[in-house]
Structure formats: structure tokens, C-alpha cells
A = this chain, B = another copy of it.
């Protein structure tokens, strides 16, 4: 990893670090995280209760997009991850798919909103359940090839997203250093190997 690159990353992490936390009282009905309770009857006759996590009225399925630039650099984002040890995370653009939205359309939308970049080709690498014991969130990993900056960022209120480019191999260094620590990004990195090794 080049010293200047690492210093740029460190200065963004420093800027986005949490320095103070205050708990707030929020009415249950106004919360983003909700749950529903069910009884499930299995084929063997046993009935088991389970709770399902609901995020903002949706199941929480997300698209994760690993954006590759024409020079083969990878676009990564840096954002507050307030519940983690570092309080800041490095990863790939990602976001919840809207109700009724096609997963690829959602992926393109999230990539454009979070970074302003647009690809010329999308490849779906894999899909997986984020937390299958308590959620039906099915996440989709896309490789976005030939990405170019065409728009400004369009961030939601309270969303803070910085971005940087890294060589593919350097992402595994960032993972070893602990900057990349989320399962979505880690799994996208692993599943991308078959396409990216040797590029």
C-alpha cells in the first residue's frame, strides 16, 4: 500500500470517527427496525415460533456493488459504521432494494446515488441471506465493470459517503489491517476472486 494512499484513508477515517454518543427516546412505531412474530408449522408436525426483522417496512434485502474502473482500480466507500470498533468502515457501495424494484436496477441506483459512477456492464456474483435466523434479507453481490463518474452524489439525509480508488490486491491488505470488516464486503471480495484474479 502506498504511504500517501494510506494517509488519505486515515485522514477520512479520522474525520468520520464517532466522538460522542447519546441515547434517544423514540416511539416504537417510529423506529426503522421493527419485527413480526410468527408460528411456523414444519412438515414433521412441530410448531416453532420465530421473529422476523423488518427494516423500514421492508425485508432489508440489499444490493452490494463492487465497482471496477476502466484502469481496473476498485471504487471503495468510506462511511460511518458507528457500531463497530473503529466507528468507520471501508466497503463497497450498497443499499436496500426498494419494494418491487429489480435487484439490478436497485444496484445501479445505489451505485449512482452513493458515488455518481455508472458502469457499462453488471455481473451478478452471488446472493446470500444476511442473517437467516431472523430475517428474509437476501443480498445480491454485483461486479460493475467499466465504471465512470457521470453524476454528483445524491445522498439521503444523514448518509455520509466518501470514496477512494484502490488496486484490487490492496483491498485484501485493507481487510488484513481491519478497515474492511463487514460481511457484505468480505463476501463480495471472496466471490470476486474468480473474475478479478489475473486481470
Contact check, A16 vs B33: say whether CB atoms are below 8 A apart.
no
Which chain B positions have C-beta within 8 A of A190?
187, 190-191
Contact check, A80 vs B39: say whether CB atoms are below 8 A apart.
no
Contact check, B15 vs A42: say whether CB atoms are below 8 A apart.
yes
Partner of A21, one of B24, B40, B183: B40
- For chain A, give the interface size range: 35 or more
Given A24-B39, A37-B24, A187-B186, A158 contacting B48 (CB threshold 8 A): yes
The number of times this chain is found in the oligomer is: 2
Binding site for B on A (CB under 8 A): 14-26, 28, 31-33, 35-44, 46, 48-53, 55, 80-85, 87, 89, 126-136, 138-139, 158, 160, 181-184, 186-187, 190-191
Given A52-B83, A183-B128, A14 contacting B33 (CB threshold 8 A): no
Partner of A132, one of B22, B83, B136: B83
The answer for the CA separation of A14 and B41 in the assembled complex, in Å, is: 13
